[in-house]
């Protein structure tokens, strides 16, 4: 690829989740504008959502695009896990007149973004300083539960990393205590396999709330994830507050499991749309205590810092970096 071709701007950047599709135009290296979020359900396909974005942004066509999307990317055919959009990467590239289209998992993109995120937009929740040269772990509840990691390469000076493309959110849920076992049993009446994502997601918040109501013999209206959060944080609804406490505790288990599996002494990062909405409550929630509650490995985990990502569109840093590599 010649320098002239690979330096053409604007480029299309996108972060596609099960609920929200986010688009931006990268107009110069590391600079994006016209950042827009739309509901996936408002468009029959990704291609039509992109065309609508082009029309709104006033661009006829771009040459290069990079998309992070919430599903495994294992070939040309892409099928979203928590939304009905499905497409061929090559057919989409041709239909949109793109010279280059790269598609990666959305949490692989977010992992690539981690070294670029502004420090002031990371909220530290416990632990010591990150261990330079150790892997970073990443997870984030949203419509689903994304997971990834960033593994350092070379001599451990922190300059080079390989992002992981895993699907850890679909690993089996591990209950920690009697209450979580009851929630697991309740979830088993709905799903043949209770993955961690079934609980650590927007629909998961709703399921935990339902399960707690069921255990308490309560009958009441079901609540949306946003309602549960609002009522739980305001203190209006004790059952909603309990739901948030359980959600954060389960996230503590999942985060420490991931940290142990990756040896992530470089830190655990929490993304996704839900935790940043929990505000100050999250730092005082059962999350950190549960994160460290790992028997003989409690001391190991106590040293690992956890960071909540509050950057508005963090995955854009990652898709931009991935596109740069692809074009270089
Ligand atoms: N205030 C809130 N509190 C808790 N959950 C919320 C709130 N508002 C929306 N949600 C839930 O957040 C989820 C959407 O999260 P997010 O914005 O991360 O979407 P996404 O990027 O499309 O998802 P993903 O990448 O996981 O597929 C939905 O399940 C929604 O119900």
98-129 pLDDT, tens per residue?
999 999 999 999 999 999 999 999 999 999 99
- For residue 130, which of 270, 266, 236 has the smallest C-alpha distance? 266
| DSSP labels, 175-236 | --SHHHHHHHHHHHTT-SS-BGGGTSSHHHHHHHHHHHHHHTT-------HHHHHHHHHHTS
Question: Ligand 1: which of 113, 147, 272, 274 to mutate, most ligand atoms within 8 Å of CB?
Answer: 274
Q: Is 15 one of the annotated binding-site residues? A: yes
Phi/psi region, residue 154 (left: phi>0; alpha: psi -120 to 50; beta: rest), is left
Angle among Cα 66, 195, 315 to the nearest 5 degrees reads 20
Cα 147 → chain centroid:
7
Ligand 1 center to 277 CA (angstroms): 10
CA–chain centroid gap for 59, Å, is: 29
CATH architecture of 118-310: 3-Layer(aba) Sandwich (3.40)
Distance 76 CA to ligand 1 centre (A): 27
Is it the case that residue 239 has pLDDT exceeding 70? yes
Domain ranges in the chain with CATH number 3.30.420.40: 3-105+314-327
Residue 326: pLDDT over 50: yes
- Give CATH 3.40.367.20 domain extents, the chain: 118-310
Q: Which of 287, 268, 322, 263 is nearest to 138 (CA)?
A: 268
Interhelix angle 202-215/238-262, rounded to 10 degrees, is 120
Query: Token pair of 79, please?
Result: 């099928």
Q: Which residues line ligand 1 (CB under 6 A)?
A: 17-20, 70, 82, 106, 142-144, 146, 201-203, 205, 225-226, 229, 272-274, 277
Pick the CATH number of 3-105+314-327 from 3.30.420.40, 3.30.70.3400, 1.25.40.10, 3.60.15.10: 3.30.420.40
ipTM rounded to 2 decimals: 0.97
The overall pTM is greater than 0.90: yes
Q: What is the per-residue pLDDT for 3?
A: 46
């Amino acid at each position: 690829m010649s320098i002239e071709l690979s330096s053409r701007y604007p480029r299309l950047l996108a972060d596609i989740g099960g609920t929200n599709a986010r688009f931006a135009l990268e107009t110069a290296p590391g600079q994006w504008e016209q950042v827009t979020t739309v509901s996936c359900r408002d468009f029959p396909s990704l291609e039509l959502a992109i065309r609508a974005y082009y029309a709104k942004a006033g661009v006829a066509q771009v040459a290069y695009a990079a998309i992070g999307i919430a599903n495994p990317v294992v070939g040309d055919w892409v099928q979203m896990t928590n939304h009905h959009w499905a497409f061929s990467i090559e057919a989409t590239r041709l239909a949109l007149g793109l010279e280059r289209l790269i598609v990666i998992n959305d949490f692989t993109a977010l992992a690539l973004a981690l070294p670029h995120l502004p420090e002031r937009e990371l909220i530290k929740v416990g632990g010591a300083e990150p261990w330079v040269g150790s892997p970073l772990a990443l997870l984030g509840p949203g419509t689903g539960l994304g997971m990834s990691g960033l593994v350092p390469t070379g001599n451990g000076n922190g300059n080079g990393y390989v992002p992981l493309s895993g699907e850890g959110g679909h690993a089996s849920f591990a209950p920690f205590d009697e209450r979580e076992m009851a929630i697991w049993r309740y979830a088993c009446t709905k799903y043949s396999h209770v993955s961690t994502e079934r609980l650590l997601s927007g629909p998961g918040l709703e399921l935990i709330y339902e399960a707690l109501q069921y255990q308490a013999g309560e009958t009441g209206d079901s609540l949306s994830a946003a309602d549960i959060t609002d009522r739980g944080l305001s203190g209006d609804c004790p059952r909603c507050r309990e739901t948030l406490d359980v959600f954060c505790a389960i996230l503590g288990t999942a985060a420490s499991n991931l940290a142990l599996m990756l040896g992530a002494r470089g830190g655990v990062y929490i993304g996704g749309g839900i935790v940043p909405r929990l505000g100050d409550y999250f730092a005082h929630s059962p999350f950190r205590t549960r994160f460290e509650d790992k028997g003989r490995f409690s001391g190991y985990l106590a040293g690992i810092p956890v960071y909540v990502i509050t950057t508005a569109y963090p995955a854009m840093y990652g898709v931009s970096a991935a596109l740069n590599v692809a074009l270089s």
